[in-house]
């Protein structure tokens, strides 16, 4: 496969007709924006059958930062749509062979950390109360997401005591003290 055929296939498969393939090939920013649109269409689909092929195609792009960003966007969008950690674990496991092909270790590790973070988040949303050791294994970003969104008094108390930054600890402490959360 060539980059030209990959970009043309992704755009056609997503029904995106207003992006010129030649422009996308000449400008990585145009291509990255096109990938974001492909990800949006892909995530909106009810079928997950083509996700691995789409990720594989995007990750063949020589501009790994742009392709990583698009794959992370897909991971984020699917994570908030799934019914729970088991469904996300199964979906993300299908992508791992494609992610492992990335040459840039930093890009590969970033995607894998994001998947780990979402698995952690989904398990917490499913009722798991993490330990301080488990909490320490997720990124600052995920701790902030939990501090901002969790409604679990136990999780907020853990973040208030063991969050990785003063900002996260204070946010969780303030939210844990919120009367509405205590009555849920």
pTM for the complete prediction?
0.93
pLDDT in tens, 100-132: 999 899 999 999 999 999 999 999 999 999 999
Distance CA(60)–CA(88), nearest Å, equals 23
Q: Could you tell me if 111 and 71 are in contact, meaning their C-beta atoms sit under 8 angstroms apart?
A: yes
Distance CA(95)–CA(54), nearest Å, equals 10
Question: In this structure, what token pair is assigned to residue 105?
Answer: 């270790």
Q: Which residues contact 133 (CB under 8 A, 6 or more apart)?
A: none
Distance CA(114)–CA(106), nearest Å, equals 12
Say if residue 179's pLDDT is above 70.
no
pLDDT in tens, 63-98: 999 999 999 999 999 999 999 999 999 999 999 999
Distance CA(184)–CA(175), nearest Å, equals 13
Number of CB atoms found within 10 A of residue 51's CB: 20
């Amino acid at each position: 496969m060539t980059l030209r055929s990959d970009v043309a296939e992704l755009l056609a498969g997503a029904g995106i007709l207003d992006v010129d393939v030649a422009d996308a090939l000449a400008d990585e920013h145009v291509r990255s924006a096109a990938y974001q649109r492909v990800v949006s269409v892909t995530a909106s689909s009810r079928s997950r059958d083509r996700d691995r092929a789409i990720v594989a195609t995007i990750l063949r792009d020589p501009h790994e930062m742009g392709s990583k960003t698009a794959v992370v966007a897909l991971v984020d969008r699917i994570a908030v749509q799934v019914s729970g950690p088991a469904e996300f674990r199964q979906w993300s496991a299908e992508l791992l062979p494609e992610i492992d092909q990335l040459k840039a270790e930093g890009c590969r590790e970033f995607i894998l950390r994001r998947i780990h973070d979402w698995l952690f988040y989904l398990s917490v949303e499913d009722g798991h109360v993490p330990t301080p050791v488990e909490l320490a294994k997720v990124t600052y970003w995920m701790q902030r997401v939990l501090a901002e969104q969790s409604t679990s008094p136990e999780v907020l108390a853990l973040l208030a005591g063991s969050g990785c930054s003063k900002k996260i600890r204070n946010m969780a402490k303030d939210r844990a003290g919120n009367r509405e959360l205590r009555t849920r």
